[in-house]
Amino acid sequence: MTGPQVILGLKVAVLLVTLLLAASMIALAKGKIALHGRINLAFFVLTLAALFVFEGIVRMWNPEVFEYIKSKPELLQSLRIHLGFSVPSALLMPLMLWSGLKHNRRAHIGLGMVFLVLWAGTFITGIFFLPHN
């Protein structure tokens, strides 16, 4: 598996879980809190699975998969910007899940606002700025 193939796979994963996130927000807007929670749980599990697969490929299976990015400063900068959004959003996800499951509305909404901004950055930088060819 090549670096561009991994990036393309991640783009597809990000797009699909973003559609889940949008569905979750629609459910919330319609007052369907339980559906919002179930969709968010699916979002959490699928995003976490993608992170583990990605880390497994990059760290264990083929550590050289992104060498082509390191040789090009503009690509490395794009990856760093993307990670600046994706890492904090990944760290917020367990807190979001916990606050939602505990019905801590104030914390959940506050974390949710921050998460949505970080996820928007993750989506934009991941889909549009990371090279897959």
Helix/strand/coil for 102:
coil
Looking at residue 3, its pLDDT comes to 80
Q: How many domains does the chain have?
A: 1
Query: Which range marks the domain in which residue 98 is found?
Result: 3-129
- Record the pTM: 0.88
> At residue 128, what is the residue type?
F
- Round to the nearest angstrom and report the end-to-end CA distance of the chain: 13
| Per-residue model confidence as pLDDT tens digits over 25-68 | 999 999 999 999 999 999 999 999 988 888 887 778 877 877 77
Looking at residue 55, its pLDDT comes to 81
